[in-house]
Amino acid sequence: MRRRVRTRAIAAVSALGLAAVLSGCGAGGATSDVTLTLVAADYGNGAADSSKKYWADLVERYESDHPDVHIDVSVYSWNDVDRKVKEMVDAGDPPDMAQIGAYADYASQGLLYRAGDLLSIPVQADFLSQLSGAGEVNSVQYGMPFAASTRLLFYNKALFAEAGLTPPETWDELVECAEALKADGVKFPYALPLGPEEAQAETLQWLLSGGGGYTDIGGTYGIDSTENVETVSWLRDELVGKGLTGPVAPGELDRAKAFEAFAAGDVGMLNGHPSLMEMARKKGVTYGMVPIPGAEGETPSALGVADWMMAFEKNGHRDEIGDFLDFVYSEENVLDFSREYDLLPVTNSASRAMAASGQDKELKPFLDQLPLSELYPVGKTSWAAVNAAIKQKIGRAVEPGGSPAGVLGELQAAAVRAESAE
Instruction: List CB contacts of 1: < 8 A, sequence separation 6 or more.
Output: none
Q: What is the pLDDT of residue 422?
A: 64
On whether residue 21 sits in a domain, the answer given is: no
pLDDT of amino acid 301: 82
Ramachandran assignment for 120, one of left (phi > 0), alpha (psi -120 to 50 degrees), beta (any other): beta
Last residue of a domain, one of 367, 386, 403: 367
Alpha-carbon span 338 to 321, nearest angstrom: 22
Same domain, yes or no: 390 and 324? no
Distance CA 388, CA 391 (A): 5
Any domain includes 314: yes
Domain boundary among 348, 367, 386: 367
CA-based radius of gyration for the chain: 23
Say if residue 193 is in the same domain as residue 71: no
Query: How confident is the prediction along the chain (422 residues), in pLDDT tens digits per residue?
Result: 333 333 333 333 343 343 333 333 433 334 469 999 999 999 887 777 889 999 999 999 999 999 999 999 999 988 889 999 999 999 999 999 999 988 999 999 999 999 999 999 999 999 999 899 999 998 999 999 999 999 999 999 999 999 999 999 999 999 999 999 999 999 999 999 999 888 999 999 999 999 999 999 888 999 999 999 999 999 999 999 999 999 999 999 999 899 999 999 999 999 999 989 989 999 999 999 999 999 988 787 889 999 999 999 999 999 999 999 999 999 999 999 999 998 999 999 999 999 998 888 889 999 988 888 899 998 888 998 899 899 999 999 999 999 999 999 999 999 999 988 76
- Residues 192, 118, single domain; the answer is no
> In total, how many domains does the chain have?
2
Instruction: Verify that 415 and 288 share a domain, yes or no.
Output: yes
Residue 16 lies in a domain: no
- How far apart are alpha carbons 370 and 374 in whole angstroms? 8
Identify whether the C-beta of residue 108 lies closer than 8 Å to the C-beta of residue 115: no
> Which of 367, 389, 409 finishes a domain?
367
222 and 269 share one domain: yes
Residues 317 and 170 in one domain: no
What does the DSSP 8-state code read for residue 4?
G
Instruction: Identify the bridge partners of residue 73 per DSSP, sorted by sequence position.
Output: 38
Does some domain include residue 253?
yes
Q: Are residues 293 and 160 in the same domain?
A: yes
Closest CA to 99 of 307, 300, 303: 307
What is the C-alpha to C-alpha distance for residues 195 and 200, in angstroms, rounded to an integer? 9
Q: What is the dihedral of CA 331, 332, 337, 339, to 10 degrees?
A: 100
Whole domain around residue 55: which residue ranges?
Answer: 2-11+27-142+305-367
Q: Is residue 398 part of a domain?
A: yes
pLDDT for position 404 = 97
Alpha helices in 210-344 (DSSP H): 226-234, 255-263, 275-282, 318-328, 331-340
Task: Examine residue 18 and state whether it is found in any structural domain, yes or no.
Answer: no
Domain check: are 185 and 280 in the same one? yes
Residues 161 and 266 in one domain: yes
Q: What share of the chain is helix, strand, coil (3-state, %, to 5)?
A: 50, 15, 35
Strand order in the sheet with 97-100: 69-76, 34-41, 97-100, 304-311, 144-150
Instruction: Please check whether residue 17 lies inside any domain of the structure.
Output: no
290 and 310 belong to one structural domain: no
Burial 287-308 (b: 16+ CB within 10 A, else e): bebbbbbbeeeebebbbbbbbb
Specify the 3-state DSSP secondary structure of 290. Answer: strand
> What's the pTM value of the predicted model, to 2 decimals?
0.82
344 DSSP assignment: B
Residues 158 and 279 in one domain: yes
373 part of a folded domain:
no
Distances (CA, A) of 362 to 113, 171, 205: 36, 25, 21
Provide the CATH number for the domain around residue 240: 3.40.190.10
Instruction: Return d(Cα 100, Cα 234) in angstroms, integer.
Output: 34
| 69 and 81 in a common domain | yes
What distance in Å separates the CA atoms of residue 62 and residue 17, rounded to the nearest whole number?
Answer: 27
Is the Cβ–Cβ distance between 38 and 336 less than 8 Å?
Answer: no
